[in-house]
Amino acid sequence: MAHRFGGAWTREKLSILRNYLGFYSTALKNQPFSLLYVDAFAGTGKQNPKLDDAQGDFLAEEDFDGSVAVALEVVPGFDRYYFNDLNAERVRALEEIRDKHPAKDIRVSRQNANEFIPAFCADLSSRDRAVMFIDPYSTELDWETLRHVANTEKVDLWLLFPISALLRMTPTEGHSIRPEWSKTITRLLGNDGWQEALYEPKPLPPMDDMFGDDNAGDQYNRLNVEELTDWVTKRLEELFSHVARPVRLDNNGRPLFLFYFAVSNPSERAWRLADKVVSAITKETRR
Ligand SMILES: C[S@@+](CC[C@H](N)C(=O)[O-])C[C@H]1O[C@@H](n2cnc3c(N)ncnc32)[C@H](O)[C@@H]1O
């Protein structure tokens, strides 16, 4: 079963993930830990990317591995793999993959990631260490779920933050956000502090222009993409010991996702090493 989405940016994120998993499983292989890979929005293991004008023939009709297949190919690999998805058909595809790899310990589940992740985190033992990949389509992940990941102190996280959805839901001028979108943004960002933080008062117009102004509701400007990125990064830094500057994944020049690496381990030595490796891995793609 192929799974249609993505494009060049999908390859970019998977290439970064592949390189990090290779580093991680090699670096920790002789340590007294159980190494776990957890894919909370796992998909099917296959991708059949959509074509668009900008990508042209480059990706034409070409299937390539999804994150699950990427993780399973990594050497030396992990002691256990957790693949979770909400979609029944995709879970069946994941079960087939599990059955084709009898030598690997693969756990497949079908849960909302916002329930799966807290339960997974609560079950971690002191000997477990994990890399978690959170790869939603859009705004499916609740901010509160990330708090569980951060509190483990044992998980390195790769997170796709849906900056395009946030941009779409927050008009550049004014504060007139649809109520259902406000709810979604608050769930995505953890509280309603964004209502103040994302908007700045416009500079006052010259006195002459103030009369007859019929746009009294549009007195605010939203942060631009870079400022918004910095703000999301700061919010993540409130939870995690270390958050790397994200890689921005674009489609046709438009920002789609911020690809974050965050470390829950409070040991500075641990996150400095991880950060050095991540900087090298993402150097080519970081914008
Ligand atoms: C972007 S795709 C994942 C792609 C996959 N990580 C890969 O690289 O091959 C997002 C997946 O999340 C699943 N999904 C959507 N909402 C979910 C939720 N609340 N909890 C768990 N999975 C969900 C979808 O069924 C879909 O397979």
What CATH number did the domain enclosing 251 receive?
3.40.50.150
List the beta bridge partners of residue 158.
133, 261
Given this model, what pLDDT does residue 56 score? 39
Give CA angle at 60 (56, 61), nearest 5°: 155
* Tens digits of residue pLDDT in 162-188: 999 999 999 887 667 888 999 999 999
Burial of 100 (0-12, 13-18, 19+ CB in 10 A): exposed
Ligand 1: nearest atom to the Cα of 69: 9
Given this model, what pLDDT does residue 111 score? 98
Residue nearest to atom 10 of ligand 1 (CA): 136
d(CA 80, CA 130): 9
Q: Are strands 254-263 and 106-109 parallel, antiparallel or unpaired?
A: unpaired
Given this model, what pLDDT does residue 58 score? 44
- Separation of CA 273 and ligand 1 centre (Å): 30
Q: How many residues does the chain have?
A: 287
- Separation of CA 43 and ligand 1 centre (Å): 5
Residue 246 included in any domain: yes
Given this model, what pLDDT does residue 131 score? 98
Give CA angle at 268 (264, 272), nearest 5°: 90
d(CA 220, CA 200): 5
List the beta bridge partners of residue 249.
257
Ligand 1: nearest atom to the Cα of 141: 19
Given this model, what pLDDT does residue 53 score? 43
Given this model, what pLDDT does residue 215 score? 52
Integer-rounded Cα Rg, in Å, for the chain is 21
Ligand 1: nearest atom to the Cα of 14: 8
Given this model, what pLDDT does residue 171 score? 86
Residue 217 included in any domain: yes
Q: C-alpha dihedral over 21, 1, 100, 18, to 10 degrees? A: -10
- Separation of CA 42 and ligand 1 centre (Å): 5
Give CA angle at 179 (237, 191), nearest 5°: 20
Helix (H) or strand (E) holding 83: strand 80-84
d(CA 203, CA 271): 41
Residue 45 included in any domain: yes
Specify whether the CB–CB gap between 207 and 226 falls below 8 A.
no
- Separation of CA 23 and ligand 1 centre (Å): 25
Of 38, 85, 164, which is best to mutate to test ligand 1, by the most ligand atoms within 8 angstroms of its C-beta? 85
Given this model, what pLDDT does residue 277 score? 93
* Tens digits of residue pLDDT in 124-176: 999 999 999 999 999 999 999 999 999 999 999 999 999 999 999 998 876 67
Residue 58 included in any domain: yes
Q: Are strands 34-39 and 80-84 parallel, antiparallel or unpaired?
A: parallel
Specify whether the CB–CB gap between 105 and 82 falls below 8 A.
no
Looking at residue 85, its amino acid is: D
Residues in contact with ligand 1 by the CB-under-6-Å rule are 5, 39, 41-43, 47, 66-67, 85-87, 90, 112-113, 135-137, 140
Residue 199 included in any domain: yes
Residue 3 included in any domain: no
Residues of the chain with confidence (pLDDT) below 50: 51-61
Residue 51 included in any domain: yes
Domain extent, residue 203, equals 8-285
Residue with tokens 């609740």: 142
Residue 128 included in any domain: yes
For the chain, how many structural domains are there in total?
Answer: 1
Looking at residue 233, its amino acid is: T
